[in-house]
A and B are shown apart, each in its own frame.
Chain A
């Protein structure tokens, strides 16, 4: 069976959930091989977790020549692994960086690229959600090695033991790939809540919060959810840009999306419309977001959310 390469999404060696999702998808297409680009001292722990989710091989690439530069060196590294593994497909998490790595790799490998898939089946045949979720598109790569970026939450990670055979790869990074330098990097402060793009539940607040996110955050905490925001809330300075959901913010696809005090502009919808279940709380029964919801409350978020938070906490005992 042919290998399917999965570029491992991790922070400083800590493997992120989307990597397990991709391994799960890779299994449908062939033999999952993880590609870990990171610190040599972090590899062993990463391999242990990757093999729990079915990685038969783990290509380990030391990142000392890679981590100081934007995107290009990772595409070169993947190109070199691909030359060695001759994979049936290459799967990458659909993030800003992931899509860019995939784009450069597609040019290098002269291969077709499909981005932001929400499902991948045997073939590989991909499913994408386009035009702010109004259309579903199925597609295939017809040339070269299929390169597919997959949105977080597109599969439930399934544990299954893989051999996890380590293959050390010494990659050469060209000088021209080292021209965009990462001069400084400030890791996002952890809020103690789940990461927005990975979370199973997201609770977002908009202009309707009036700048008071406490009801949103308390409600989110009662459900173990991540907190998001509309651009209006971000532009008002109530939340940093990293919280923004939408066309020019993050795209989320959780099991449950709750929007409170958000009208539902097309640009906001673009970032949340593939959520499985959608709930809105809005004072205005005409708010466009109500067209999308599975459940909606016409009411003031400042009274509805605190009461609901209390009831949820009570139920949980």
Chain B
């Protein structure tokens, strides 16, 4: 087979594959999937393999000495609630100081 036939075939195939790859990358769904995968990888690296407390957490604080303790969020708790847990320093009952979400954003549609 002559060089021209090889050339036209290879160029045609390369263009076709490139177009398909661009279409896949530009498609929003794949783009979002790739992006979320990369961000999750970065998050995991930043947190040293998920050792830090992440997700929905609440911070308990002693109103007297300022002692704080971070625990996973418990259903029914709210900011300002006086819990039954006592402060290890002065025995004062701990108050829910903050409730927040720490971690990568959840995926939707």
Q: Do A and B bind each other?
A: no
Q: Residues on B close to A: CB < 8 A?
A: none
